[in-house]
């Protein structure tokens, strides 16, 4: 048998599908900015077809929603930036470098990389996103010649998002926050009664195994691997330079002093100890999480000079998210203000029962996430409809919230919005990672849907 035929035999079905899908997506899938503009037009047309709002009224709905999510957009941006600042600190970067240089093969590198960032994504999606970026870039740059396929490394970094159903998820954090927007309907429900229930933890363990297994199957043969471009290696491995130590002005002395940020961070940590000591995990919400990450970031960077330099690097990676968020908020405005949300939700509820509602809600959330890729802002729209529907059907609130979160995470794998920091950091196009996300999306859906149905009988859950 010739060497060429032997190589062809070692190219698995998933690898061949990725190759075909990559060619197709590069030809047909537009840039992320074009994607959101096209979605805006699609939702506008659907609004004309499904609601009684006319053309001008729908435009007004769009503009009304355009700036409606600025607070949430800021919270999400801070979540990503603080995650990057932590991962970019010198102690963590050096630990990452030691980790990524310990592998002997592309397969072992991908398995360990996927396992580690999958766990981190679950603990904190902002840190998972940014650790995935820093670790992935270091992994590709410091192992050139091993046969690591660069688009696959970037895809692993992003696709960890399907495992982000942990304690940093916006919907469970929102309803765990006192005085939240539907407190009269649900009360304050701690995350220990939603995202941290045993059945949800079990689903996440299964998803972690699927995540690792699918990417192992999609590793291309070494002769087909396209490794990192040489011009990116120096940039990706560079650390923040040390600040000047000689002939410093008083301002420079303060800029490089570790005393000032340490005192402020200690104040913050004292508050955190008091807060979480009194409330436990139930006291975790978006603001307290961001605050804690910010304080830890100042401690790890030691001085304002390094901290601000890292902030500058992190902010550059979320620029696409910041500028596109208002466009998705505009889509949110059409869906919410025209009544389209209630119409669509009503369709799904009408075909549901107590035990099928989590599956229907999962599918509904997954579809809507294509148009409004933000679990927290979408939940603000949908919770007033889906939670009463779940109560009426006898479905526990935990299953309503968790199935909603899982639907979001599943179609995030093919939605370019949250991939924007990955694309900017890796200097890569969404079309290059889309095939991996699509395959993983299908595999995860095949795991999640049966779990949402059968776990209701295995894991009894309070109604609340």
The predicted structure's pLDDT at residue 282: 59
CB 432 within 8 Å of CB 144: no
Which segments of 51-197 does DSSP mark as H helices, in order? Answer: 55-66, 70-87, 90-100, 106-123, 125-142, 150-159, 170-175, 183-186
pLDDT at res. 281: 64
- How far the first Cα of the chain sits from its last, in Å, is 65
- What pLDDT score does 342 carry? 77
The rounded distance, in Å, linking the Cα atoms of 112 and 109 is 5
Which distant-in-sequence residues (6+ apart) come within 8 Å of 451 by Cβ? Answer: 199, 202, 203, 206
State the pLDDT at residue 238: 77
DSSP 30-61: --HHHHHHHHHHHHHHHHHHHSS--HHHHHHH
**Per-residue confidence in pLDDT tens, the chain, 464 aa:** 444 444 444 567 888 888 888 788 878 877 778 888 998 999 999 999 999 999 999 999 999 988 877 877 788 788 788 888 888 888 988 898 899 999 989 999 999 999 999 999 998 887 788 889 889 999 999 999 999 999 999 999 999 999 999 988 888 887 887 777 678 778 888 888 999 999 999 999 999 999 999 999 999 998 889 999 999 998 888 777 777 777 788 888 888 888 999 999 999 999 999 988 887 765 666 788 889 889 999 999 988 988 988 888 888 778 777 888 889 889 888 988 898 877 877 787 788 999 999 999 999 899 888 887 766 667 876 777 788 888 888 899 999 999 999 999 999 999 888 888 898 889 999 999 999 999 999 999 999 999 999 999 998 877 66
pLDDT of residue 8: 44
Give residue 202's pLDDT: 97
Residue-wise DSSP of 265-318: HHHHHHHHHHHHHHHGGGG--HHHHHHHHHHHHHHHH-SHHHHHHHHHHHHHHS
On the 0-12 / 13-18 / 19+ scale of CB atoms within 10 A, 313 is middle
How many DSSP H helices and E strands does the chain contain? 24, 0
Cα–Cα distance between 233 and 22 in angstroms, integer? Answer: 24
**Residue 58 near residue 338, CB atoms below 8 Å:** yes
What element of type H or E holds 431? helix 430-458
Q: Where are the domains of the chain?
A: 13-19+30-37+52-238+254-458
Q: Catalogue the long-range contacts made by 199-202 (C-beta closer than 8 Å, 24 or more residues apart).
A: 199/451, 199/455, 199/458, 199/459, 199/461, 200/165, 200/398, 200/402, 202/451, 202/455, 202/459
State whether the Cα torsion 123-125-127-130 is positive or negative: positive
The pTM assigned to this predicted structure is 0.82
Q: Specify the pLDDT at position 287.
A: 82
SS3 19: helix
Crossing angle of the two packed helices 430-458 and 198-217, in degrees rounded to 10: 140
């Amino acid at each position: 048998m010739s060497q060429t035929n032997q190589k062809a035999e070692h190219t698995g079905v998933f690898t061949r599908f990725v190759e075909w899908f990559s060619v197709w997506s590069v030809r047909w899938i537009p840039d992320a900015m074009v994607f959101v503009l096209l979605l805006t037009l699609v939702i506008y047309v659907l609004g004309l077809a499904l609601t009684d709002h006319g053309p001008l009224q729908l435009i007004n709905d769009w503009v009304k929603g355009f700036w409606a999510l600025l607070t949430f957009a800021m919270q999400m941006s801070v979540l990503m930036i603080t995650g990057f600042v932590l991962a970019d600190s010198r102690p963590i970067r050096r630990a990452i470098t030691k980790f990524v240089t310990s592998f002997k093969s592309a397969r072992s590198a991908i398995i360990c990389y996927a396992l580690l960032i999958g766990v981190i994504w679950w603990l904190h999606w902002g840190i998972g996103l940014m650790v995935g970026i820093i670790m992935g870039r270091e992994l590709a740059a410091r192992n050139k010649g091993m046969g690591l396929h660069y688009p696959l490394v970037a895809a692993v970094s992003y696709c960890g998002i399907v495992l982000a159903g942990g304690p940093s998820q916006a919907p469970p954090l929102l309803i765990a926050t006192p005085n939240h927007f539907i407190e009269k309907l649900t009360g304050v429900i701690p995350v220990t009664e939603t995202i941290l229930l045993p059945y949800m933890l079990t689903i996440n363990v299964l998803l972690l195994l699927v995540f690792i297994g699918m990417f192992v199957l999609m590793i291309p043969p070494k002769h087909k691997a396209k490794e990192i471009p040489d011009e990116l290696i120096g940039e990706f491995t560079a650390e923040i330079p040390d600040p000047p130590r000689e002939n410093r002005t008083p301002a420079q002395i303060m800029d490089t002093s570790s005393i000032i940020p340490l005192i402020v961070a200690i104040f913050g940590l004292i508050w955190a100890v008091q807060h979480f000591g009194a409330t436990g995990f139930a006291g975790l919400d978006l603001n307290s999480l961001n605050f804690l990450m910010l304080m830890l970031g100042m401690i790890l960077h030691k001085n304002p000079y390094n901290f601000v330099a890292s902030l500058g690097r992190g902010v550059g990676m979320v620029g696409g998210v910041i500028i596109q968020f208002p466009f998705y908020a505009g889509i949110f405005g059409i869906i919410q203000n025209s009544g389209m949300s209630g119409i669509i939700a009503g369709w799904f509820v009408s075909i549901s029962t107590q035990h099928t509602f989590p599956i229907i809600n999962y599918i509904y959330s997954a579809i809507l996430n294509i148009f409004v890729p933000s679990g927290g802002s979408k939940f603000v729209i949908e919770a007033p409809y889906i939670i009463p529907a779940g109560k009426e059907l006898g479905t526990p609130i935990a299953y309503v919230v968790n199935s909603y979160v899982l639907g979001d995470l599943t179609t995030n794998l093919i939605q370019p919005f949250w991939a924007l920091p990955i694309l900017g950091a890796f200097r890569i196009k969404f079309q290059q990672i889309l095939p991996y996300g699509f395959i993983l999306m299908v595999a995860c859906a095949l795991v999640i849907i049966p779990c949402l149905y059968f776990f209701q009988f295995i894991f009894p859950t309070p109604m609340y």
